[in-house]
């Protein structure tokens, strides 16, 4: 067989013995036909492709990205640890140059998992992309600039949440318009927190968008932004549910469309996210992505049966409008008056409700971010989660960002001491990534 | 009473062993004449027959392992053959870059065995005419996912039979292996077609032997997986006889070695040029994950896992940049035997004062290289031996690392890794007697140097038993059942009642049918279920059925061989 133009690492972990529940889309069968197609195509014999066994992520790997409530082992199954570990394996193989690119083709997915984790939402518990980003920063340099391009049909609200105030991580998300699909967020005007404004970028695509709309967004918007940002690493969170046959979405992208996207984007690390057309899409999309990553011809990859219809003119117009808006935001990003966006004052405050559809949890969150000239600012989150309609206890989390300035570090430590004595809180967490120190203490009223 | 002659026609020598009721009675050998394998076989037969008590009294069985097909493939002497492929969507067929003519035609089957594009009979006819015009008469037909639905391959075979009788052999991909991997299936079918005629000629010659010395029909041939097959069956699947020599050696090590059933052992066949490494787990050799690789052809032929290292008694030794280099090349025999450059054997001869060849010559060369290195001859010899052992240990470590890191696809397998930790080294080959104890000491494990190691392959051939495997796939959501090896495709009646027990029972039944046809049944009726996968098929939030994939097989087995003490002492040299 022809040699791959690029050395490609593959971490394939279909978790054939794990499901959320027997009939759930996230079940044993999900990557069965993909495995069959990849093996039958002989891709594991492809010269230049190496298959790697996933490592198992440890508690620290997860604590760097998440605050798990009450703790890591209560929310994670072993399958999550293998999927996260496999993603880390893929990243390592690229960083130590064993391969040029790597594809973590594994499940369960992770991009709906936010920084605070009370359970599973959108089929996700822990965020595989965030776990590798933190692992990379700890292992290969804390000033690494990383770009995540999420091409799942669902808005990556988890990754957005984790990085929306992080100036070293650019998070770009292309997805089906949130007004028509779970989780509902991801509008063009969600642009990130005060410490990293305009580094969260969302391009919602209306239902019926197909290859040409997605590729238009990529070429007109994503690629120029990446060229400006100059990331050290590009991660593609490659959900495959924009496919025209996906049962949960309303998009019209084809396997070749995904392959072309991969070819243009040239990601260093690709991580599978969603995609639930397990017979009609995944086998072909994954073969297409592998061929595109390996630098081989993918034009002969085609799903059986008639393809999708061309998008209506109104859809194309909406995509052009959104792209135009985002292009302008990106051009003007350094001139935007942040006081106008976040209001004046030393802290930016927001309140949210977060619904965990998979585990039926409703979380209420209050968040404060210190607006700081020196760094991205420490954060304090108060969270109360009601599980299956039963009111839960409150917890608090203090987050010290990477490269925190002295006064933010001091402020965060003081906040942690104060919250520890608050009394109404069940647990208080301190996440200090830079010192790699993660504390949990019960709050005791004095 | 079981009386079996095992013969291994190897690259240099041909060995024979006679085993009666589990006792090794005689061994014999002669040089291999590649131009005339039949005369080589009869020569060694005559020699061993003269050592067999009362050869006419009772019938004998012949187990034959030859390099015929292996050499034909290595030397590119197969008949010109062409492959018609139905590739469907996926990897561009031109990127498959087969080193032989392949002809893509329309027609596609998907991963669940559904036809997604029909054959075009007219296009197939025109393709066959083109192949015929090129003077090619050996043909293979292979479809992507044909193991899930062989109907396109069967249709083309039918068309050839009626309209193109001049094609003497049509190999269909799905019959050779039930495993997925389209490019390997194409390669496997091509090779099979290209050696078909050669094997047919050989089989008819060998058949002439039966009757002589009381050898009964049928004769058995060795396969790459350490099993045997009926000579007539080898006419359908001649490719399975490739690499039977190395497999026979490993079977010999199994028969002669002392190991417990719980052992993980490494076998080292240390020759002049190379060392072959294989792994026994619980008394059973590990197989290749996908299939044999021969002359860079990746096939689906079941084969033992072996790794060849350029390290042997005659490996070239160089002193460069302050360090010793051993191998991987062999430039010739040791200096002591008139060779051009220093070898590990020379170091052993000098250090241990072995009366082999010209010890003086070896010493002079050691002294010469020693001056370059600033070392006395003895010290250099010791370093060479240490370096030899270090390299062997390192290579064994790499093999284990590779095996321990083969990806697995379930959570439970990731969490409970089967870490291979060898407890014993089993050695064969000339230099093994000297080096094996040192390698084992470096690894801190037991060792055994096999008796009669030079005839281990012939002994292995004699003790091997038939193997057979079929793959059954039942998709109750589609109501289809397929056993590709048997051309079997049927509808599942009462799919609701089809469960894993039914699937196992059917797989065992079908394997038994196949075993009867291939001669495996009488010899080794212990058919068992190997790999088994069961998946729920859920559509629209309801379970629509199940997919069962099972392999039923007769695994390679051996009868242990006893060697009389006295015989070993006196009978070792022919």
Q: B304: which DSSP letter?
A: B
Q: Which helix (H) or strand (E) holds B404?
A: helix B377-404
Query: Is the CB of residue A36 less than 8 Å away from at least one CB of chain B?
Result: yes
Looking at the predicted structure, is the pLDDT value of residue B370 above 50?
yes
Summarize the confidence of residues A3-7 as an average pLDDT: 92
Interchain pair A45, B181: CB under 8 A? yes
CB contact under 8 A, A40 and B89: no
Whether A138 sits among the annotated catalytic residues: the reply is: no
CA B280/CA B462 separation, integer angstroms? 19
- A60, pLDDT greater than 90: yes
End-to-end CA distance of chain B: 26
pLDDT at B566: 43
Across A375-404, average pLDDT: 91
Q: How many domains is chain B built from?
A: 3
Nearest-Cα residue of chain A relative to residue B110: A304
Residue B509 half-sphere exposure, CB side, CA atoms within 13 Å? 7
Claim to verify: residue B85 and residue B194 sit in the same structural domain: yes
Q: Within 13 A of B121's CA, how many CA atoms are on the CB side? A: 8
Which of the four CATH numbers 3.40.50.300, 3.40.50.2000, 3.40.800.20, 1.10.10.10 does domain A8-333 have?
A: 3.40.800.20
Any B CB within 8 A of A84 CB: no
Q: How far apart are CA B256 and CA B272, in angstroms?
A: 22
Instruction: Check whether B175 has a pLDDT greater than 60.
Output: yes
pLDDT at A27 over 50: yes
Tell me which of B86, B87, B89 to substitute to probe the interface with A (most A C-beta atoms closer than 10 Å). Answer: B89
Give residue B67's pLDDT band: very low, low, confident or very high (50, 70, 90). confident
Look at residues B182, B199, B216 and tell me which one is the last residue of a structural domain. Answer: B199
Tokens 């089989």 label which residue? B203
CB B462 within 8 A of CB B93: no
Phi, psi values for residue B38, rounded to 5°: -65, -45
B1 pLDDT more than 70: no
CA angle B380, B384, B389 (to 5 degrees): 150
Whether residue B41 lies inside any domain: the answer is no
Q: To the nearest whole angstrom, how far is the Cα of B321 from the nearest Cα of chain A?
A: 27
Chain B residue whose CA is closest to A25: B541
Nearest to B111 among A2, A27, A37 (CB): A37
Min Cα–Cα distance to chain B from A385, Å: 29
* B121 within a domain of the structure (yes/no): yes
Residue B338, token pair as written in the block: 């008139």
> Across residues B527-532, what is the average pLDDT?
90
CB atoms closer than 10 angstroms to residue B502: 15
Residues of B with CB under 8 A from a CB of A: 89-93, 95-97, 108, 110-112, 116-117, 144-145, 180-184, 290, 298, 405-412, 414-415, 533, 535-538, 540-543, 547
d(CA A271, CA A124): 14
List the one residue out of B221, B216, B247, B249 whose CA is nearest residue B236: B221
- Phi and psi torsions of A300, nearest 5°: -95, 5
> Under an 8 A CB cutoff, do B182 and A42 touch?
yes
* CB spacing of B112 vs A33 below 8 angstroms: yes
The half-sphere exposure of B101 on its side-chain side, counting CA atoms within 13 A, is 18
Instruction: Tell me: pLDDT of B568 over 50.
Output: no
The answer to whether residues A387 and A396 touch, using CB atoms and an 8 Å cutoff, is no
State the Cα–Cα distance between residues A92 and B162, nearest whole angstrom. Answer: 58
| pLDDT tens digits for range A202-230 | 999 999 999 999 999 999 999 999 999 99
Q: How many CA atoms lie within 13 A of B96 on its CB side?
A: 27
Mean pLDDT of chain B: 90
Which of A111, A112, A135, A243 does the annotation list as catalytic? A112
Last residue of a domain, one of B177, B199, B221: B199
| Cα distances (Å, whole numbers) of residue A288 to A37, A133, A215, A222, B91 | 11, 26, 15, 21, 9
B250 in a domain, yes or no?
no
d(CA A33, CA B145): 12
B306-347 tens-digit pLDDT: 999 999 999 999 988 888 999 888 898 999 999 999 999 999
Tokens 């647990």 found at = A427
Mean pLDDT of A159-173: 98
Considering only the beta carbons, identify the residue of B184, B406, B414 that sits closest to A82.
B414
Q: Shortest CB distance from A41 goes to which of B90, B112, B414?
A: B90
- Identify the pLDDT of residue B56: 63
Residue B516 is predicted with a pLDDT of 85
Which of B199, B221, B244 is the last residue before a domain boundary? B199
If pLDDT is split at 50, 70 and 90, which confidence band does B561 have? Answer: confident
**What is the tens place of the pLDDT at every residue in B398-421?**
999 999 999 999 898 888 867 889
| pLDDT tens digits for range B134-150 | 999 999 999 999 999 99
Give yes or no for A358 touching B (CB within 8 A).
no
Q: Given a cut of 50, is residue B570 above it in pLDDT?
A: no
| A chain contacts of residue B538, beta-carbon cutoff 8 Å | 22-23, 27, 29
CB contact under 8 A, A297 and B181: no
Pairing of strands B220-222, B61-66: parallel
In terms of CA atoms, which chain B residue is nearest residue A52? B407
Q: B513, exposed or middle or buried, with CB in 10 Å at 0-12, 13-18, 19+?
A: middle
pLDDT at residue A292 tops 50: yes
Are B92 and A296 in contact (CB < 8 Å)? yes
Smallest CA-to-CA distance from B443 within B402, B405, B404, B400 is with: B400
Asked if the Cβ–Cβ distance from B108 to A78 is below 8 Å, we say no
Q: Strand A269-272 vs strand A233-238: parallel, antiparallel, or unpaired? A: parallel
pLDDT in tens, B228-258: 999 999 999 999 999 998 899 999 988 888 8
Q: Do B409 and A36 touch (CB under 8 A)?
A: no
Mean pLDDT is lowest, of A169-178, A420-429, B518-527, for: B518-527
In a domain, B366, yes or no: yes
With a pLDDT cut of 70, the percent of chain A lying above it is 100
What value does the CA radius of gyration of chain B take, rounded to a whole number of Å? 26
Interface test mutation site (partner B, options A13, A40, A90, max chain B beta carbons within 10 A): A40
Q: What gap in Å lies between CA B434 and CA B411, rounded to an integer?
A: 44
- Binning pLDDT at 50, 70 and 90, where does residue B428 land? confident
Distances (CA, A) of B335 to B309, B317, B348, B360, B430: 22, 11, 12, 10, 17
Residue B374 lies inside a defined structural domain of this protein: yes
Please judge whether A301 and B90 are an interchain contact, meaning their C-beta atoms are less than 8 angstroms apart. yes
User: B302 pLDDT exceeds 90?
Assistant: yes
Residue B523 has pLDDT above 70, yes or no: no
pLDDT for A342 equals 94
Q: What secondary structure letter does DSSP report for B558? A: B
8 Å CB contact of B538 and A23: yes
* Band of pLDDT at residue B574, cut at 50, 70 and 90: very low
Residues 6+ apart with CB under 8 A from B272: B312, B313, B314, B330, B333, B430
CA–CA separation, A292 vs A298, rounded Å?
6
How many contacts (CB atoms, under 8 Å) link A and B? 129
Which whole number is the average pLDDT over B477-497? 94
Nearest to A78 among B92, B182, B411 (CB): B411
Name which of A183, A185, A66 is nearest A134 in CA terms.
Answer: A66
Span A261-285, average pLDDT: 97
HSE of A33, CA atoms in CB hemisphere, 13 A? 23
Indicate the SS3 state at residue B329.
Answer: strand
Token pair, residue B40, equals 């080589």
Which tens digit of pLDDT belongs to each residue from A110-127?
Answer: 999 999 999 999 999 999
Percent share of chain B, pLDDT over 90: 65
| Whether residue B492 sits in one domain with residue B383 | no
Give the H/E segment covering residue B182: helix B182-207
A34 band by pLDDT with thresholds 50, 70 and 90: very high
B-chain CB neighbours of A106 within 8 Å are none
Host domain of residue B167? 81-199
DSSP per-residue string spanning B419-465: -----EEEEESTTHHHHHHHHHHHHT-EEEEPTTGGGHHHHHHHHB-
Q: Which of B87, B94, B110, B478 to mutate to test the interface with A (most CBs of A within 10 A)?
A: B110
Q: pLDDT (tens digit, 9 = 90+) per residue, B503-515?
A: 999 999 999 989 8
Nearest to A18 among B183, B411, B540 (CB): B411
Question: 3-class DSSP state for residue B395?
Answer: helix
- How large is the ipTM? 0.94
Tell me: the pLDDT tens digits for B19-60? 988 888 898 989 888 888 888 999 999 999 888 876 666 778
B524 has a pLDDT exceeding 60: no
Q: Does residue B567 have a pLDDT over 60? A: no
3-state secondary structure chain A: CCCCCCCEEEEEECCCCCCCCCCCCCCHHHHHHHHHHHHHCCHHHCCCEEECCCCCCCHHHHHCCCEECCCHHHHCCHHHHHHHHHHHHHHHHHHCCCCCEEEEEECCCCCCCCCEECCCECCECCCHHHHHHHHHHHHHCCCCCEEEEECCCCCCHHHHHHHCCCCCEEEEEEEECHHHCCCCCCCCCCCCCCCCCCCEEEEEECCCCEHHHHHHHHHHHHHHHHHHHCCCEEEEEECCCCECCCCCCCCEECHHHHHHHHHHHCCCEEEECCCCCCCCCHHHHHHHHHHHHHCCCCCCCCCCCCCCCCCCHHHHHHHHHHHHHHHHHHHHHHHCCHHHHHCCCCEEEEEEEEEECCCCEEEEEEEEEECCCCCCCCEEEEEEEEECCECCCEEEEEEECCCCCHHHHHHHHHHHHHHHCCCCEEEEEEEECCCCEEEEEECCCC
pLDDT at A446: 60
Ramachandran class of B283: left when φ > 0, alpha when ψ lies in -120 to 50, beta otherwise = left
Distances (CA, A) of A245 to A180, A238, A280, A307, B119: 17, 16, 6, 9, 26
Is B18 within the bounds of a domain? no
**Distance of alpha carbon B289 from alpha carbon B307, whole angstroms:** 13
Q: What is the pLDDT of residue B11?
A: 78
Sole residue written with tokens 């049927």: B490
Amino acid B569: pLDDT: 32
What is the arithmetic mean of pLDDT over A52-68? 97
List strand residue ranges (DSSP E) for B12-127, in order. 13-20, 23-31, 61-66, 81-86, 102-104, 108-109, 115-117
Q: Are A109 and A128 in contact (CB under 8 A)?
A: yes
A13 in contact with B at a CB cutoff of 8 Å?
Answer: yes
Are A17 and B411 within 8 A, CB to CB?
A: yes
- Element spanning B125, H or E: helix B121-133
Pairwise CB contact (< 8 Å): B409 & A35: yes
Q: Do A45 and B91 touch (CB under 8 A)?
A: no
């Amino acid at each position: 067989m022809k040699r791959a133009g690029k050395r490609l690492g593959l971490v394939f972990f279909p978790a054939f013995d794990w499901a959320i529940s027997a009939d759930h889309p996230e079940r044993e069968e999900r990557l069965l036909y993909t495995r069959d197609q990849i093996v039958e195509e002989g891709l594991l014999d492809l010269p230049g492709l190496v298959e790697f066994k996933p490592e198992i992520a440890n508690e620290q790997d997860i604590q760097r990205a998440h605050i798990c409530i009450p703790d890591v082992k209560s929310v994670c199954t072993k399958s999550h640890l293998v999927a996260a570990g496999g993603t880390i394996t893929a990243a390592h193989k690229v960083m130590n140059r064993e391969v040029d690119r790597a594809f973590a083709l594994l499940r369960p997915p992770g991009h709906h998992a936010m920084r605070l984790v009370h359970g599973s939402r959108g089929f996700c518990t822990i965020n595989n992309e965030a776990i590798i980003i933190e692992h990379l920063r700890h292992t290969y340099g804390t000033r690494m600039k990383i770009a995540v391009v999420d091409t799942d049909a669902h808005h990556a609200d988890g990754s957005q949440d984790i990085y929306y105030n992080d100036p070293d991580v650019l998070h770009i998300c292309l997805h089906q318009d949130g007004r028509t699909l779970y989780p509902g967020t991801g509008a063009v005007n969600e642009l990130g927190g005060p410490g990293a404004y305009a580094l969260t970028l969302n391009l919602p695509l209306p239902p019926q968008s197909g290859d040409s709309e997605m590729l238009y967004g990529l070429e007109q918007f994503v690629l120029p932004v990446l060229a400006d940002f100059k990331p050290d690493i590009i991660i593609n969170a490659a959900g495959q549910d924009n496919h025209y046959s996906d049962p949960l979405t309303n998009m019209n992208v084809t396997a070749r469309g995904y392959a072309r996207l991969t070819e243009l984007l040239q990601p260093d690390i690709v991580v599978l996210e969603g995609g639930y057309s397990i017979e009609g899409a995944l086998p072909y999309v994954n073969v297409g992505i592998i061929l595109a990553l390996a630098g081989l011809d993918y034009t002969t990859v085609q799903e059986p049966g008639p393809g999708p219809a061309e998008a209506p003119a109104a859809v194309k117009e909406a995509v052009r409008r959104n792209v135009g808006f985002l292009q302008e935001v990106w051009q003007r990003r350094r001139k935007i008056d942040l006081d106008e966006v976040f209001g004046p004052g030393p802290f930016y405050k927001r309140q949210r409700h977060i619904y965990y559809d998979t585990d039926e949890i409703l979380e209420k969150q209050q968040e404060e971010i210190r607006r700081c000239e020196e760094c991205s600012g420490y954060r304090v989150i108060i969270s109360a989660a009601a599980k299956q309609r039963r009111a839960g206890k409150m917890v608090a989390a203090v987050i010290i960002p990477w490269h925190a300035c002295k006064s933010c570090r001091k402020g965060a430590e003081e906040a942690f001491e104060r919250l520890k004595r608050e009394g109404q809180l069940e647990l208080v967490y301190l996440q200090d990534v830079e010192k790699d120190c993660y504390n949990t203490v019960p709050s005791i009223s004095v | 009473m079981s009386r079996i002659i095992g013969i291994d026609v190897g690259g240099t020598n041909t060995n024979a062993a006679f085993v009666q009721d589990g006792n090794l009675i005689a061994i014999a050998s002669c040089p291999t004449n590649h131009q005339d394998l039949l005369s080589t076989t009869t020569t060694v037969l005559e020699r061993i027959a003269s050592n067999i008590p009362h050869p006419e009294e009772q019938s004998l069985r012949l187990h034959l392992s030859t390099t015929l097909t292996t050499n034909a493939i290595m030397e590119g002497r197969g008949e010109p053959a062409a492959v018609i492929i139905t590739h469907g969507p996926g990897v561009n067929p031109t990127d498959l870059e087969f080193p032989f003519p392949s002809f893509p035609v329309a027609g596609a089957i998907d991963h669940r065995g559904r036809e997604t594009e029909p054959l075009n009979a007219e296009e197939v006819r025109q393709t066959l005419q083109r192949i015929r015009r090129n003077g090619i008469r050996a043909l293979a037909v292979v479809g992507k996912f044909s193991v899930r639905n062989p109907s396109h391959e069967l249709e083309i075979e039918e068309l050839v039979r009626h309209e193109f009788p001049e094609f003497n052999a049509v190999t269909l991909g799905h019959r050779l292996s039930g495993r997925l991997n389209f490019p390997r299936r194409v390669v496997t079918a091509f090779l099979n077609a290209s050696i078909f005629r050669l094997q047919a000629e050989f089989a008819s010659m060998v058949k002439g032997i039966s009757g002589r010395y009381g050898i009964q029909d049928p004769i058995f041939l060795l396969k790459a997986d350490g099993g045997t097959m009926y000579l007539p069956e080898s006419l359908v699947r001649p490719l399975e006889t490739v690499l039977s020599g190395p497999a026979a050696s490993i079977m010999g090590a199994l028969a002669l070695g002392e190991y417990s059933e719980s052992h993980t052992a490494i076998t080292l066949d240390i020759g002049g040029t190379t060392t072959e490494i294989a792994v026994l787990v619980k008394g059973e050799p590990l197989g290749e994950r996908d299939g044999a690789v021969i002359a860079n052809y990746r096939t689906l032929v079941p084969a033992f896992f072996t790794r060849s290292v350029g390290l042997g008694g005659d490996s070239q030794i160089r002193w460069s940049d302050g360090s010793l280099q051993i191998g991987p090349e062999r430039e010739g025999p040791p200096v002591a035997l008139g060779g051009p450059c220093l070898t590990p054997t020379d170091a052993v001869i000098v250090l241990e004062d072995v009366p082999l060849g010209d010890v003086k010559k070896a010493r002079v060369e050691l002294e010469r290289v020693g001056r370059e290195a600033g070392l006395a001859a003895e010290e250099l010899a010791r370093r060479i031996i240490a370096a030899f052992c270090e390299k062997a240990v390192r290579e064994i470590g790499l093999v284990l690392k590779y095996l321990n890191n083969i990806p697995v696809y379930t959570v439970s397998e990731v969490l409970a890794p089967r870490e291979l930790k060898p407890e014993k080294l089993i050695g064969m080959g000339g230099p093994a007697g000297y080096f094996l104890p040192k390698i084992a000491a470096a690894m801190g494990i037991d060792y055994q140097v096999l008796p009669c190691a030079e005839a281990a392959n012939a002994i292995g051939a004699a003790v091997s038993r038939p193997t057979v495997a079929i793959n059954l796939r039942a998709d109750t959501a589609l109501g289809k059942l397929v056993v590709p090896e048997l051309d079997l495709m049927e509808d599942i009646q009462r799919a609701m009642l089809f469960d894993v027990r039914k699937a196992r029972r059917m797989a065992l039944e079908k394997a038994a049918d196949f075993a009867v046809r291939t001669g495996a049944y009488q010899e080794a009726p212990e058919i068992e279920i190997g790999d088994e996968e069961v998946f729920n098929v859920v559509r629209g939030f309801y379970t629509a059925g199940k997919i069962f994939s099972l392999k039923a097989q007769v695994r390679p087995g051996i009868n242990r061989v006893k060697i009389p003490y006295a015989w070993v002492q006196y009978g070792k040299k022919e």
